A = this chain, B = another copy of it.
Amino acid sequence: MAEANSKDYVVGVDLGGTKILAGVFKSSFETLATTKLSTKAQRGVKEVIERIARCVQDAVDEADLSLKQVAGIGIGAPGSVNFDDGTVIFAPNMEGWKDVPLKKELEKHLGVPVFVENDCNIGALGVYGAELKSKPRSMVGIFVGTGIGGGIIINGELYSGAGHTAGEVGHMVLDINGPKCGCGNKGCFEALASRTAMFQQIKAGVKEGQKTVLTEMLGSDLSDLRSNDLRKAIRKGDKFVDKIVEEAAEYIGIATANLINILNPEVVVLGGGVIQALQDEMMSVIIETAKDYAMAGSLKGVEIVASDLGDDAGITGGAVLARRHAKD
């Protein structure tokens, strides 16, 4: 069959501090197979690269394909990345990741063209390519999860800035007197509206004697708390959790308005695990607050939408990146 020799497939990889996800995609960005391995960053750079290669090989095998049928591999890495030479310049959450030639090393292992980008940039590209079909000329993606990251599309292309770090929307200060952020500053968007921020507020409330159905569901230490539990609590009428989620949504709305005022994009997409779990609870508050805070002229014609890709944004973006840059 001719099919067997044509390189119809691409692989997207999401390299995280704790896990590696790989997905095999057909041209239209449907997933054929996905695999997951833990990162084991503590074992060192070389071993992580071998694990990425193994994860890709497993995914391709899982889809009953061979690497020869793969046109390219796109990979998102957590840190600043030089797309042009495929180097991870610095990944703060992975020990030893400084100037790692990830593209070169993976190409050696796999014999397939590899393209590397920052993980939030690649998430934005996934939403842009697979969900918006690359139609708008400009887009801002805001990803709310453990932290908050972003990615910017300008003139139909990823915009990564002079030093490959553009889109760090999570450290935009929204409340100069707000809570302390992991970065050392106060009142960063991430310190106000990430999953980590909401969980901290809930745990602090419980410590102070606040009643919530979450403790009935999960025990008083809430050690296994997840975003989905917040949705369940709200649906059970938990006013305490409802208020915390609503306030986080308001901060996301203000950040959205700031970005609309600065960049006036065609579309703002909200994604990430928190939005995926709490879309029904948060999106209307986000949109309403963004409309309150954006300048009328800047807001005109801007769409604010939720992504349904959730944790798949990374591997999907990898597939879009590979599809854009690999030659069949």
With both chains docked as a complex, state the minimum distance between the C-beta of A292 and any C-beta of chain B, in angstroms.
7
The one of B90, B164, B173 in contact with A258, judged by C-beta atoms closer than 8 angstroms, is: B173
Q: Is the CB–CB distance between B254 and A166 below 8 Å?
A: no
User: Given A165-B297, A185-B293, A298-B168, A264 and B160 touching (CB < 8 A)?
Assistant: yes
The one of B167, B183, B262 in contact with A259, judged by C-beta atoms closer than 8 angstroms, is: B262
Q: Is the CB–CB distance between A176 and B254 below 8 Å?
A: yes
User: Does A169 sit at the interface, judged by CB under 8 A?
Assistant: yes
Q: Is the CB–CB distance between A163 and B262 below 8 Å?
A: no
User: Given A175-B176, A185-B293, A292-B185, A163 and B258 touching (CB < 8 A)?
Assistant: no
User: Does A172 sit at the interface, judged by CB under 8 A?
Assistant: yes
User: Does A58 sit at the interface, judged by CB under 8 A?
Assistant: no
Q: Name the B residues within 8 Å of A163 (CB-CB).
A: 264, 297-298, 300-302
Q: In this complex, what residue of B is CB-closest to A150?
A: B262
Q: Name the B residues within 8 Å of A263 (CB-CB).
A: 152, 159, 161, 166, 262
Q: Is the CB–CB distance between A162 and B137 below 8 Å?
A: yes
The one of B173, B262, B265 in contact with A162, judged by C-beta atoms closer than 8 angstroms, is: B265
User: Does A5 sit at the interface, judged by CB under 8 A?
Assistant: no
Q: Is the CB–CB distance between A261 and B171 below 8 Å?
A: yes
Q: Is the CB–CB distance between B162 and A261 below 8 Å?
A: no
Q: In this complex, what residue of B is CB-closest to A185?
A: B293
Q: Name the B residues within 8 Å of A155 (CB-CB).
A: 155
Q: Is the CB–CB distance between A176 and B174 below 8 Å?
A: yes
With both chains docked as a complex, state the minimum distance between the C-beta of A119 and any C-beta of chain B, in angstroms.
14
The one of B162, B166, B259, B300 in contact with A301, judged by C-beta atoms closer than 8 angstroms, is: B162
Interface code A280-324, partner B: CB below 8 Å = 1, 0 otherwise?
000000000000111101101110000000000000000000000
Q: In this complex, what residue of B is CB-closest to A89?
A: B297
The one of B154, B175, B262, B301 in contact with A172, judged by C-beta atoms closer than 8 angstroms, is: B262
Q: How far is the CA of A164 from the CA of B159 in the complex (A)?
A: 18
Interface residues, chain A, with chain B CB atoms under 8 Å away: 79-80, 89-90, 136-138, 150, 152, 154-155, 159-169, 171-178, 183, 185, 187, 251, 254, 257-259, 261-266, 292-295, 297-298, 300-302
For the complex with contacts A90-B297, A173-B258, A175-B175, 19 further pairs of A-B residues with Cβ separation under 8 Å are: A155-B155, A161-B265, A162-B301, A162-B302, A165-B264, A165-B300, A166-B298, A167-B262, A171-B261, A171-B293, A172-B261, A173-B174, A173-B254, A175-B176, A176-B254, A177-B177, A185-B293, A258-B258, A262-B262
Contact sample, A vs B, 23 pairs, CB 8 Å cutoff: A80-B297, A152-B262, A154-B154, A155-B155, A162-B264, A162-B301, A163-B300, A164-B264, A165-B264, A166-B264, A168-B298, A172-B261, A172-B262, A173-B257, A173-B258, A174-B174, A174-B176, A175-B176, A175-B187, A176-B178, A176-B254, A185-B292, A185-B293
**Nearest 5 interchain pairs by C-beta:** A161-B264, A168-B261, A166-B264, A162-B266, A165-B298
